[in-house]
Amino acid sequence: MDIKGAKILVIGGAGLIGSHVVEELLKEDIKEVIIYDNFCRGTAENLEEALKDPRCRIYEIGGDILQTDILDSAMKGIDGVVHLAALWLLQCYEYPRAAFDVNIRGTFNVLEACVAHKVKRLIYSSSASVYGDSLTDVIREDHPYNNWTFYGATKIAGEHMFKAFHKRYGLEGVALRYMNVYGARQDYKGAYIAVMMKILDNIDKGLPPVVYGDGSQSYDFIYVSDVARANVCALKSDVPFGFYNVGRGIKTSIKELTEMILKITGSDLQIQYEPAGLTFVTNRVGDPVAAERDLGFTWSVDLEEGLRRLIEWRKKNMDAVEQRRKKARF
């Protein structure tokens, strides 16, 4: 899709990934970026820089994907949609009916509105959660669904509804299966990345970082600005439909992650191991080859550099970090 002069609607555009997608889009020669967000998890602070650009605005009437008339009005004249709005993993675990309403019914509403307004292209934020625990060393897109969570179930449903809309109505676009996304503006609500913020909190207090289990749980960490670029690459691509991993394809254990944070911060604290708590997945690394081949996306920020950026953002925004810490308690 040629996005020159296009109007793009970013649903969930005030969140961690969404706000970075907005900024990446504003680097392009587009006409307008409209942010559709109910600010359930996203924040106005995340959009401070983006809103300085006159081509960017928050949709003033509302931003809830369950309010179909408002969503319908936001879609008028839109060329492309990036759909990121969803309840996160632990919310879905605790409130499965809400997970159904927002992640499944809400996504259906988005798909329906895209068709009604002849949107040229939709990029749907899926998740590596559809895979569950890996059955292979590196997960390709044809890996079986091994998910056992409500969150993963909603993402599988979203993918297959999109597939059906593509088949029946010709709605084009792709679903992106994110690995473990981290970076500047992150909060404490990510089931696997919140560990980073909690480690840094402990280091600030002179307390040992806590690792649950033996620290061998391994994931594929990818920096948020790379994920944002993946969305723009997907929007600009000509692939009619498909599912793609967004990751680095590099395995990092929680123990290795913790040791890297200690090294970057210059801390000599020792890791404190505690009995494992609630864990949904213990091994997941995505194969990035298909996204590079078909979408032209390649990651650029390695883990150590990404952690340095996160730590630097955190130092400069301690008031915002404290607010995110408080919100995570509720």
- List active site positions: 151
Helix ranges (DSSP H) in 26-103: 68-74, 89-94, 96-99
Beta carbons of 42 and 19 less than 8 angstroms apart: yes
**E strand segments, the chain:** 7-11, 32-36, 56-58, 80-83, 121-127, 173-178, 180-182, 210-212, 218-219, 221-223, 241-246, 252-253, 272-274, 283-284
Q: Which of 240, 214, 224 is nearest to 295 (CA)?
A: 240
Beta carbons of 284 and 133 less than 8 angstroms apart: yes
Q: What is the rounded distance in angstroms from the CA atom of residue 234 to the CA atom of residue 296?
A: 8
For the chain, the straight-line distance linking the first and the last C-alpha, in angstroms and rounded, comes to 41
Beta carbons of 66 and 102 less than 8 angstroms apart: yes
Q: Which two structure tokens, joined as six digits, stand for 146?
A: 């091994």
Distance of CA 284 to the CA centre of its chain: 16
Classify 34 as helix, strand or coil. strand
Q: Which two structure tokens, joined as six digits, stand for 22?
A: 């907005």
Beta carbons of 241 and 174 less than 8 angstroms apart: yes
Phi/psi of residue 87, nearest 5 degrees: -75, 145
| 274 CB-side CA count, 13 A | 7
Beta carbons of 22 and 11 less than 8 angstroms apart: no
Q: Which residues contact 70 (CB under 8 A, 6 or more apart)?
A: 61, 62, 63, 64
